[in-house]
Amino acid sequence: MLTHLGNGMPAAVPRHANPLVDGLASDLACSIISDGVHLPLPVLKVQRKQNTNFMHVPNSRSQTQLIFKSRPLQDIVVVSDAAPVAGLPPGAHTCFGKTVHVVQEDVGFAVRDPESGYLAGSAACMQQCAEFLSKSLKLDTRQLQQVCFYNPLRIINLTEKDVKLL
């Protein structure tokens, strides 16, 4: 399984031979942080042909749609990467003994290291990640349940019967 696909990469990478392209071309399941900050919307967009394992999502932001080869829906696992400061208002906060900043960005809130400017976790919880996918990619309830609940269970060899829901 590829974790945090598209994250933890240098700002500049070779345009063809890089971890994101290699990950998308692999047969491994992948986890993504769908908070709208870790991966820009064009990276999350995928194409679905009728009766296949791909989702078609119209591009509302530009006339040229960037389409990535995607994983079948059963191979996508959504994670939040929520930092302990997720849900706190914008400003400086202490997280794991270090100061981080919760900042408003174009599509939501981010947790950033003030020294490097890099992400230091997500300010979004799972519900917000699911809402982002629902609004921006038009995933329906069944699809959201699959990528946010059933797929993660399957990856760790559990079923819904193994989980006690509150």
Q: For residue 165, what are the CA distances in angstroms to 61, 126, 136, 147, 149?
A: 38, 16, 28, 17, 11
Cβ neighbours of 126 (radius 10 Å): 17
Neighbouring CB atoms inside 10 A of 123's CB total: 28
E strands, the chain, are 30-33, 76-79, 91-95, 98-105, 108-112, 119-122
**How, if at all, do strands 108-112 and 98-105 pair?**
antiparallel
Q: Is the pTM of this model over 0.85?
A: no
**Along the 166 residues of the chain, how does pLDDT read in single tens digits?**
888 877 777 778 888 888 877 877 788 888 888 888 887 777 776 433 223 333 333 332 321 122 234 567 888 899 999 999 999 999 999 999 999 999 998 888 999 999 999 999 999 999 999 998 888 888 899 989 999 999 999 999 998 888 876 5
The identity of residue 128, as a single letter, is: Q
Cα-based distances in Å from 139 to 43, 48, 50, 101, 127: 15, 12, 15, 31, 13
